[in-house]
Amino acid sequence: MVGGTAIEISASIETGVRSGALAPGAGLPPVRTLAADLQVSPATVAAAYQALRGRGVIETLGRNGTRVRPRPPVVGERGQWRLGVPAGAIDLSSGTPDPRLLPDLDAAVCAPAHGDLATLARDAFAGDGVAPGVVGIAAGALDAIERLLGAHLRPGDKVAVEDPGWANLLDLIAALGLVPVPVAMDEDGPSPSELSSVLGAGARAVVITTRAQNPTGAAVTAARAGALRLVLARFPDVLVIEDDHAGPLSALPLHSVCGIGTRWAFVRSVSKPYGPDLRCAPFVADPVTAARVDGRQRLGTGWVSTLLQRAVVTLWSSAEVAAQVRAAGRSYDRRRDGLVRALRERGLDAVGRTGINVWVRVPDETLAVSALREAGWAVAPGALYRISSAPGFRVTISALDESAIPVFADAVVAAVGGRSGGRAW
């Protein structure tokens, strides 16, 4: 780290992250220590750190000091934040659907589409009981959430997030200069009492995953949705973003929480049921929010590819594809439920009510992840998904065949030494 100004120091640190000299999780010197080494004022170093925090490159963890974030928004030459899968290992860390269960995208792209995606989405949302509003199309769920947050929030604003929660969302919030505030959850969704406390303390937005929550597989029940709506009704100016990325893959009914206040949006990606290459996510929002998102989109990409939209219409409208998606959902259910059951039978804490992921709580996630990699199983470390919740790791069951479940469950027991992490929440 070099430099005589805040700009030079922050650029030096970012270069270290990009080159790999400063790896994800690497600690940075205390402000006064680095100031003495560089012979600059502590205020100069503090300003450099503040700039890097505002861009999501580093984070400050109280007494644990300042470190490079696990996945900083700086892509290095070697993509160093990515934990590679060892040769011959089975990849259970990807978070992507099983390619064997996806419909034929080539046929969908070439087929003539009848109707438009916005109309199709509006009808589907209404059928699921989502509040009526203005429909828009974004380039994936994360693109929609980024535009929605940008429509109402500014750097420094607090966002209530599920903990553990979606790693990409936590990274996005950091990159936007926003402040994530954790809300504890269980398999029924976010805690209403904790959400009330966080919103009462000034959070200006909240992101809630309705079904197939990543990484825990939680799904909001009717009772929990009712309790969350009562909380949200007391904070009508808070932006509520509801993420239903699983959509038709989930056999559980949707219990939406949107439409209570003045600013809200419901987002549904098509990547999980139809394929990750379809970067397309219809959303419905209140008129002001939809207008701001649409206006910002016109200044950037302009629109989501009409070719992609037509392909999604073809897939979404096909009875044959709908049957294929339902069959895929049943396959995921069998594998996910089978893994949860096998782990629990072996005395481990595992949850996963819906979706393609299972969350396993363990005493030492670093030890468990490393041991599993050595045994030929790659899982995702929980540090990517946690703020203040207990250690664990995420298993994506897309590449885990039913016949391999007992073998993997035994490997998990061996990796954690037969020790349970306590309650999974």
- Residue 365: give its domain's CATH number: 3.90.1150.10
In a domain, 106, yes or no: no
The residue segments making up the domain with residue 227 are 113-317
Angle at 297 between CA 296 and CA 299, to 5 degrees: 70
Instruction: Identify the domain boundary among 289, 317, 345.
Output: 317
In a domain, 339, yes or no: yes
In a domain, 301, yes or no: yes
Do 47 and 185 reside in the same domain of the chain?
no
Phi, psi (5° rounding) for residue 185?
-145, 165
Amino acid making up residue 317: S
Do 220 and 335 reside in the same domain of the chain?
no
Do 50 and 11 reside in the same domain of the chain?
yes
pLDDT score at 79: 42
Give the residues across from 209 on adjacent strands. Answer: 243
Determine the Cα–Cα distance for residues 412 and 392; give it in Å rounded to an integer.
12
User: How many domains, the chain?
Assistant: 3
DSSP H/E element including 44: helix 42-54
- For the chain, how far is it from start to end, CA to CA, in angstroms? 40
SS3 state at 208: strand
- 282: nearest Cα among 126, 115, 119: 119
Determine the Cα–Cα distance for residues 270 and 140; give it in Å rounded to an integer.
8
Query: Is the link from the previous residue into 253 a cis peptide, with omega within 30 of 0?
Result: no
pLDDT score at 300: 84
Rg of the chain taking only CA atoms, in angstroms = 22
Structural contact between residues 357 and 214, judged by C-beta atoms closer than 8 angstroms: yes
DSSP class of residue 313 equals: H
Phi, psi (5° rounding) for residue 189?
120, -165
Do 117 and 185 reside in the same domain of the chain?
yes
Do 17 and 117 reside in the same domain of the chain?
no
DSSP per residue, 78-122:
T-TTS-PPPTT-EE-------GGGS--HHHHHHSPP-S-HHHHHH
Instruction: Identify the domain boundary among 263, 290, 317.
Output: 317
Residues of the chain under the 70 pLDDT cut: 75-84, 418-425
DSSP H/E element including 163: strand 158-163
Do 284 and 164 reside in the same domain of the chain?
yes
Do 178 and 276 reside in the same domain of the chain?
yes
Q: Which residues of 295-316 are buried (b: 16+ CB within 10 A; e: fewer)?
A: eebeeeeeebeeebbbbbbbbb
Do 121 and 217 reside in the same domain of the chain?
yes
Do 305 and 187 reside in the same domain of the chain?
yes
- 116: nearest Cα among 317, 321, 324, 323: 317
Q: What residues contact 39, with CB distance under 8 A and at least 6 apart?
A: none
Determine the Cα–Cα distance for residues 87 and 33; give it in Å rounded to an integer.
42
Give the residues across from 381 on adjacent strands. Answer: 393
